[in-house]
Amino acid sequence: MTAERSLSFDRAASFYDVTRALHPELSRKLTDALEREVRAAGERVLEPGVGTGRIARPLAERGIRVTGVDISPLMMGQLVAQLTPQHVPPDLVLGDATRLPFRDGCFPAVMVCHLLHLIPEWRQAIAEMRRVLQPGGVILHHGEGETDRNRLPMITAKIDELLAARRFARRRRPQVDEIRAGFAAVGGHLRTEIVAEWDDDGTLEQHIAESRSRAHSWTWEIPENIFFDMMDEFEAWARANVPPDRHVVYELDVWTFD
């Protein structure tokens, strides 16, 4: 059986930063937390799935040496286009997170954001991060802990129900607890920090509009005719049933190893 390929974001390169932008205050707090952990580990960090540098660029602006890996040259092109003389130039490598092109034990820190749920072979990606980590190093995982506790489970369940009625099933993506179990399985010890927590309102219509435009990766695997037929029913349901406000918790998982 041929393994499924990791998902390339080439198609999203032109709009990724607009649709995935972090609030400036969240970006600052996240960068503060990442910088603190990276500097304690050794001043250098590897980011598989570096993309447009949404997370890496603020660190590079603070003097951190980032090595970025991505399977999308267009996404990394957007990263390069946004660099300034204030950034430490990152080392960028075209490659897959499940087959990192580095020797064993060569990075004191690894960070990964909004990536593992996109990779069918996500356990292999975790094993690769562990392989390239130096003894005493740290893996920083964030994004999957960004929790929309009131709305996300009901939205996900409804979309799957509507797709099942149309005889289509999405690829199952790993949940937070499964990913944490994956890091624990390679010897990791977890410390979780809450980077930011807030009540966010008025975003349901934005979520609907971005979904209909197929800006988000979960929509890409669904055939066009099934997707738009499903969205008509989903939008009516969402406006009638989904709470307009949400509570969001942005977490940073810090993994250390014996």
Tell me the pLDDT tens digit for each residue of 1-55: 234 567 788 887 787 777 777 778 888 999 999 999 999 999 899 999 999 999 9
Of 85-94, 98-107, 184-193, 199-208, the one with minimum mean pLDDT is 199-208
3-class SS of residue 21: coil
Residue 4: what pLDDT? Answer: 57
Note the pLDDT tens digit of each residue in 116-164: 988 999 999 999 999 999 999 999 998 654 555 557 778 889 999 999 9
Surface-to-core class of residue 230, CB atoms within 10 Å of its CB (0-12 exposed, 13-18 middle, 19+ buried): buried
Asked if 121 and 97 count as a contact pair (C-beta separation under 8 A), the reply is no
Inform me whether the pLDDT recorded for 109 exceeds 50: yes
Any idea where the domains of the chain sit in the sequence? 10-147+172-200+248-257
Fold of 10-147+172-200+248-257: Rossmann fold (3.40.50)
Asked if 51 and 9 count as a contact pair (C-beta separation under 8 A), the reply is yes
Asked if 244 and 231 count as a contact pair (C-beta separation under 8 A), the reply is no
How far apart, in whole angstroms, are the C-alpha atoms of residue 72 and residue 81? 15
Asked if 68 and 93 count as a contact pair (C-beta separation under 8 A), the reply is yes
Q: At what angle do helices 224-241 and 204-212 cross, to 10 degrees?
A: 170
Asked if 114 and 143 count as a contact pair (C-beta separation under 8 A), the reply is yes
First to last CA, the chain: 35
Residues 6+ apart with CB under 8 A from 244: 201, 202, 204
Of 44-53, 237-246, 249-258, the one with minimum mean pLDDT is 237-246
Note the pLDDT tens digit of each residue in 182-237: 999 999 999 999 998 877 765 678 888 888 999 888 899 999 999 999 999 999 99
pTM for the full predicted model = 0.89
Residues 13, 113, 79: CA angle, nearest 5 degrees: 35
